[in-house]
Amino acid sequence: MPLRRVRPQRLQVVQPSLILTLAILLGSAAAIYLACEYFVNGVEWVGRKLAVGQQATASILAAFGTALPESVITFIAVVFGHSPEQKNLGVGAALGGPLVLATIAYAVVGVTLFLSRQNLPATAAIRREFRRLSRDQGWFLAVFAAKVILGVVVFAWKPWLGILFLAVYGVFFWQEMRGKEQHAEDAPEPLRIAPKRSEPQAWQAYLQTLVALAVIFGASRLFVNQLDVLGPQLGIPSQLLALLLAPIATELPETMNAVIWVRQGKHRLALANISGSMMIQATVPTALGLFFTPWLFDRSLLIAAGATFAAILVMFLCLRRGRGSRVLLASMALFYVAFALVALVWF
């Protein structure tokens, strides 16, 4: 009786390409965090050299720097995209950024406060700060409502309204830059590239900030690219990946900045950086989308818009009353979870 040849069973192993993708993903995230450490340190000194208050440093200078990569992505997608799908990616990025900032970024601040055993002090100064932040949220709600309404209507002169969105950010910029600080400012930590100098030269602050920003930009692009590769490897649909995870990746620098400032006890700067980034995301990418695309939302984008609006409305009402806490901030994640569940069911 002939012997039957038994084939050895093949062991299921993790593909080397998947391991490499995960390694690059984690490495780029670590690079973003380290670069953000240098960036927030440098941008505080830049603000000091320009005689700009800490509030404007966080809401304008830091926010503009970290929002620049996402704005460039939107610009490239809507201007140089050769297909409707590519232009739609730009429209999705213009809406996904505010969603993540309004939910995940605020929640990360709250969680970081819990982990570092810090509380937002219940003082009159903090309540005034909450009311000032509610003003920023009110700005955002008005602008965001306008961009969503424009996403569901069609008319010939819609592209010209992009100029209006740029003008709105110009007014916000002017208002923040001329604002007066209501309290004494904390001295920045020594500049990382000149730790022995109590007062570094201006060019050193500019150099550290620009180099850190370049590293953030490159590492963020690498992170997003690896996320695009990871989706097919894990069997995640590209649409679902773009809707749920890609915005988190693109807003990683703003979130990292917030974590660093919270760890340093500078809660005001962390919150101002998020609110300032939200104003940029609500205006500049929207203007680009209006200029170069039909700016029409599908159902998934409308669901994302609803989650964003609900989250900021809750923040606005609480902060307007001078009420804010780490519990409130951490709870913003629930709006993103609700959005994610609806998106998963939808897909």
Closest CA to 281 of 94, 59, 88: 94
Q: How far apart are CA 347 and CA 339, in angstroms?
A: 12
| DSSP string for 27-85 | HHHHHHHHHHHHHHHHHHHHHHHTT--HHHIIIIIIHHHHHHHHHHHHHHHHHH--SHH
pLDDT digits (tens), the chain, 347 positions: 444 554 544 444 445 587 888 888 888 888 888 888 888 888 888 888 887 777 778 788 888 777 776 677 677 777 776 667 667 767 777 888 889 999 999 999 999 999 988 887 777 777 777 888 888 888 899 999 999 999 999 888 999 999 999 999 999 888 887 765 555 556 788 898 988 888 889 999 999 999 988 888 888 778 777 776 776 777 766 556 666 776 777 788 888 888 888 888 888 888 888 888 888 888 988 898 899 888 888 888 888 899 999 999 998 998 888 777 888 899 999 999 999 898 878 76
Q: How far apart are CA 62 and CA 43, in angstroms?
A: 6
If you count them, how many residues does the chain have?
Answer: 347
Contact 343, 236 (CB under 8 A): no
241 CB neighbour count, 10 Å cutoff: 17
Can you read off the two tokens belonging to residue 223?
Answer: 């992170």
Contact 169, 160 (CB under 8 A): no
Which amino acid type is present at position 17? S
Q: How far apart are CA 177 and CA 171, in angstroms?
A: 10
